[in-house]
């Protein structure tokens, strides 16, 4: 006897330039259902309270709550409190959970939606650049655990994503830079033209020029959706989207989830992976330099001294043991070969990792033994 269960999920991603257009798209997605809007306290003051009022004024039944902002609150404790709150609302199984915020909100709320009543529909409304181009897409939802980032989670696709790039005007420069790291990553692994666009226009991106940011978000969204569609539930753990995340997640873990933003950790992880690739003869020096120069130009860390806090290198290498467990006993490093091309290495040693992490500068590092 064989039991089978197939699942195919599809959803619309709408990239809008203003809140009026975004609200219109949200109304279409919500389709008259009750709404439980969840955000963090920072985004509540900036956008979410106004959005909830606008939806309610249009006749929708909207309940709202907010939890403290920051990666430290992407936790089981937060998720449990949100489940308790949902249980006290009138939300039914076909109603809508609305996640309004950055990556912490979207990851946490998505996992809560996956667990509540064995899964209720949710819609992502990203407010940070990182959330627009990464967290809101792909259905990877999770909360952190003290031993590893995103340890408790699921694959649960949203009902829809409504991106309003106008929200990016309220971000500070550090958050913009952190989000840009994920777009640079996509350029390296799958879209050289996107990488080149950032090289030409990063000043306009950091100035949040409306036309430039809309083009950037649309392009990065298309790349992410194309890559996720190949393997939405990660049956194959050899995924180019993990470029920069192996060392990056370890850095976030040892610093306690918060002092180093996710995009900053990924940027540092990309620089480390590029050094390993060059040392192995897989990546030419010019391309590695283009990557680290671009990361540096937009204000992202490429060496230890660039990180906002000091990290313990042995602890960081040790944190990779938990990643080995999650990835079935192996560290699968995504190493760039050229812009738009990567390979997966299963045999990167602790010595290579330590050398890449502790490199003080790119050229001197290459001359060390």
Instruction: Confirm whether 8 is a catalytic residue.
Output: no
Contact 344, 333 (CB under 8 A): yes
Q: Which of 165, 184, 179 lies closest to 135, judged by CA? A: 179
Active-site residue among 19, 196, 199, 234? 234
Task: List the strands of the sheet with 96-101, edge to edge.
Answer: 12-16, 160-164, 122-126, 96-101, 35-40, 62-67
Active-site residue among 47, 249, 288, 332? 249
Active-site residue among 242, 275, 278, 288? 242
Contact 138, 182 (CB under 8 A): no
Instruction: Confirm whether 132 is a catalytic residue.
Output: no
Residue in the block written with tokens 């792909």: 138
Active-site residue among 186, 239, 245, 275? 245
Active-site residue among 33, 145, 238, 279? 238
80: part of which helix (H) or strand (E)? helix 76-87
Instruction: Confirm whether 242 is a catalytic residue.
Output: yes
Question: Dihedral angle at the C-alpha atoms of 339, 345, 351, 352, nearest 10 degrees?
Answer: -10
Instruction: Confirm whether 252 is a catalytic residue.
Output: no
Active-site residue among 29, 71, 182, 252? 182
Instruction: Confirm whether 249 is a catalytic residue.
Output: yes
Q: Which of 346, 328, 201, 188 lies closest to 269, judged by CA? A: 188
At 255, list the tokens: 């610093």
Contact 321, 215 (CB under 8 A): no
Active-site residue among 262, 275, 288, 332? 262
Active-site residue among 224, 239, 275, 288? 224
CA dihedral sign of residues 74, 172, 213, 22: positive
Active-site residue among 25, 132, 140, 275? 140
Q: Which of 193, 215, 195, 188 lies closest to 204, judged by CA? A: 215
Instruction: Confirm whether 118 is a catalytic residue.
Output: yes
Active-site residue among 7, 118, 169, 367? 118
Instruction: Confirm whether 182 is a catalytic residue.
Output: yes
Instruction: Confirm whether 140 is a catalytic residue.
Output: yes
Could you list the active site residues?
118, 140, 182, 224, 234, 238, 242, 245, 249, 262
């Amino acid at each position: 006897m064989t039991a089978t269960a197939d699942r195919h999920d599809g959803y619309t991603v709408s990239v809008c330039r203003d809140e009026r257009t975004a609200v219109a798209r949200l109304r279409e997605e919500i389709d008259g259902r009750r709404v439980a809007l969840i955000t963090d306290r920072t985004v509540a003051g900036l956008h979410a309270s106004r959005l909830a009022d606008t939806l309610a004024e249009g006749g929708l039944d909207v309940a709202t709550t907010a939890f403290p902002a920051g990666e430290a609150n992407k936790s089981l404790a937060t998720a449990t409190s949100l489940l308790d709150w949902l249980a006290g609302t009138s939300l039914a199984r076909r109603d809508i959970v609305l996640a309004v915020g950055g990556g912490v909100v979207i990851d946490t709320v998505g996992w809560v939606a996956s667990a509540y009543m064995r899964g209720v529909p949710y819609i992502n409304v990203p407010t940070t650049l990182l959330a627009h181009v990464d967290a809101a897409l792909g259905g990877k939802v999770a909360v952190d655990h003290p031993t590893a980032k995103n340890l408790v989670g699921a694959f649960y696709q949203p009902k829809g994503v409504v991106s309003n790039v106008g929200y990016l005007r309220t971000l500070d420069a550090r958050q913009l830079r952190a989000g840009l790291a994920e777009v640079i990553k996509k350029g390296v692994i799958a879209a050289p033209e996107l990488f080149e666009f950032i090289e030409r226009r990063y000043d306009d991106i950091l100035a949040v020029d409306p036309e430039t940011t809309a083009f950037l978000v649309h392009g990065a969204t298309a790349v992410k959706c194309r890559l996720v569609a190949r393997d939405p539930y990660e049956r194959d753990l050899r995924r180019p989207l993990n470029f920069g995340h192996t060392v990056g997640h370890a850095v976030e873990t040892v610093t306690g989830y918060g002092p180093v933003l996710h995009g900053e950790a990924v940027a540092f992880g990309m620089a480390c992976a590029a050094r390993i690739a060059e040392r192995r003869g897989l990546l030419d020096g010019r391309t590695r330099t283009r990557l680290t120069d671009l990361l540096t130009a937009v204000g992202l860390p490429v060496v230890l001294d660039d990180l906002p806090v000091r990290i313990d290198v042995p602890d960081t290498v040790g944190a990779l043991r938990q990643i080995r467990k999650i990835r079935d006993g192996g560290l699968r490093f995504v190493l760039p070969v050229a812009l738009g091309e990567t390979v997966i290495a299963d045999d990167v040693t602790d010595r290579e990792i330590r050398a890449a992490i502790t490199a003080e500068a790119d050229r001197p590092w290459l001359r060390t033994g």
